[in-house]
Chain A
Amino acid sequence: MKALVIVGHGSHLNEDSSLPVYEHAARIRERFGDEYEEVVECFWKEEPSMRHVLDTVESEDVSVVPAFISEGYFTQQVIPRELGLAGPVTRKDGKTIRYAGPLGTYQGMADVILERAEDLLGDKEVPPGRRALVLLGHGTDLNKSSGGVIYLNAGRIRERGLYDLVEVGFLDQDPQIGAVVENLEAENVVLIPVFIAEGWHTRETIPEDLGLTGEVTRRGSKTIFYGAPVGTHPSMAPLIAARAREAERETEIAQSPR
């Protein structure tokens, strides 16, 4: 039997944080139930805790996928510590546990971001003129990976030539999102938060700071389209499964005798 364990941050205060983890788990059960007989959710701030989730898993072959955007404090310290992982592969209690990388660095992430942008524009009238895609990350000066993953995806999307401009902006590091949007030379700005879940930032601070009035805000010659966070997009579910498969493949190669 194979299990896929999705690790979310979770919240003590609201249901938004864990919701995408539950929804993606349900999608994976439906679409990839033959491959993963168990799909289990666990969290840092909700139950089941990472500390105890493996006791509830029957399978001997377990892949753990962190529902986090970037490598950092959680993926490198908290999750391995709480799950008792020793590296990419851990054997204990008769289980083989493979630890996958975060979602944001996976190559399929660029496709989900583009899908999110297409969904946003799909039913709307887009004025003529240049189109800019802006990836909005949290960012932090404490860890380069947090911003790095946003640049990584912007680079991958830029190569496809679908938008006149592809830029990045952040909440907690430079370049600040407000200035980026303000200075963009494009008539249409498509703003996609590269976040895992809806929350305080996506619902309150970002719209407030940027003066957004909803999905579409017209300001002077600019029209700003504001999308839902990429992490809640249904296509994240196959991406999570793909991340797990990749971890299984890579650790098989690493373990092979030759």
Chain B
Amino acid sequence: MPKAPARPSGTPNVAAASREAFAAWVDEDPDGRVFGQILIRSASPAGYYLCHEDDARVASLELYDDPRAAREIAKLTGAGEYRPLKSSPNLRRGWELRVEDARGLAAAMDYLYPAGVVHWYLYREGRLEITDYRENAARQSGIYKRIQRLSDEGVQNAARACCEDAVCLKKTLWNVDAGTPLEMDRGNGEIPCPEPCSVFVSFARRVRLFEREKRRDLDDAGLSPSEREDLAALVEAAAGGAGGIKLAREAEFEEPLNERRLRYRKLTLLPKLRPEESPKE
């Protein structure tokens, strides 16, 4: 069995402490708190109400009273798409969850934003351990080992494409490595992101595949095969009219019409197509 590397850790009762601290934080504000896309309000005489932040004034919500109902709430988008990343800004609306106490609140939050409350607590305490990209990549194996070879520029662009608030509400705390900070909008939300997640690792693998082909296979216009493939797919889809563009699933990075993949193209392909314009907006 391989030797266990160092990993983020807390004290034995960090789970209990985070639960109490989170409930107290919610109690402090009579208007409630927003965590990710959830509005949490204290109930009287005890307990908490949770709903989508955009549903704060909606009267006819579907009511739940089991904290574990949060798993079903968090599973699919409003359009019925599977949500592989719970911090994506695509939580469905139309529900309200009533929990009895701090324990119920923590149980519900652990399904809505897994490990979010404990990371929130450790971050506030100054005890959240951060794992930078290079350290995370160094321990990958199998099909993900290749992300070790992703360039710094590739990590930067992958993080901008994969982690900004438009696609993930966590606040990105990790860097490329200790001496190379991420140059991106890290986000303003309450949920810290201490380490590249499995969705990011999978995306980084795809970006590494793009990097490799670029060196070998550019055409006369300077486009790589996958860039041409994505452009062709976009043109084909858009020619079908407003209903023609159906994006691929959220983490289906091998598909041209994946949102994060297209965000990456905006960063790396647009400057090639419009060299007179700045690469950034």
Contacts and interface: CB of A to CB of B under 8 A. Distances in A.
Interface of A: 11-15, 22, 26, 44-49, 51-58, 60, 73, 76-78, 80-81, 83-87, 90, 92-95
Contacts of B5: 81, 84
B277 to A, nearest CB: 33
A88 to B, nearest CB: 9
Nearest to B83: A15
7 contacts: A12-B198, A45-B84, A52-B194, A58-B16, A76-B1, A81-B2, A83-B4
Most chain B CB atoms below 10 A, which of A47, A51, A76, A86: A47
B168 to A, nearest CB: 12
Interface residues of B, number: 44
B144 to A, nearest CB: 10
Contacts of A80: 1-2, 4
Interface stretch (B7-15, B23-31, B223-231, B237-245): B7-15
Contacts of B3: 86
Interface stretch (B49-57, B114-122, B157-165): B114-122
A48 B114 contact: yes
A60 B39 CA distance: 32
Contacts of A77: 2, 141
Given A81-B5, A86-B4, A47 B115 contact: yes
Q: List 7 tightest A-B contacts by C-beta distance, closest first.
A: A94-B12, A12-B251, A47-B114, A48-B114, A58-B15, A12-B84, A84-B7
Contact of A90 (B4, B85, B252): B4
A167 to B, nearest CB: 31
A140 to B, nearest CB: 13
B21 interface: no
A73 B85 contact: no
A94 B7 CA distance: 15
Interface in B202-243: 202
B266 interface: no
Contacts of A81: 2, 4-5, 139, 141
Contacts of B16: 58
A51 B198 CA distance: 10
B110 A55 contact: no
B149 interface: no
Given A12-B251, A13-B252, A48-B115, A55 B9 contact: yes
A64 B73 CA distance: 27
B23 to A, nearest CB: 15
Contacts of B202: 12, 45
Nearest to A57: B15
Contacts of B110: 48, 56
B125 to A, nearest CB: 12
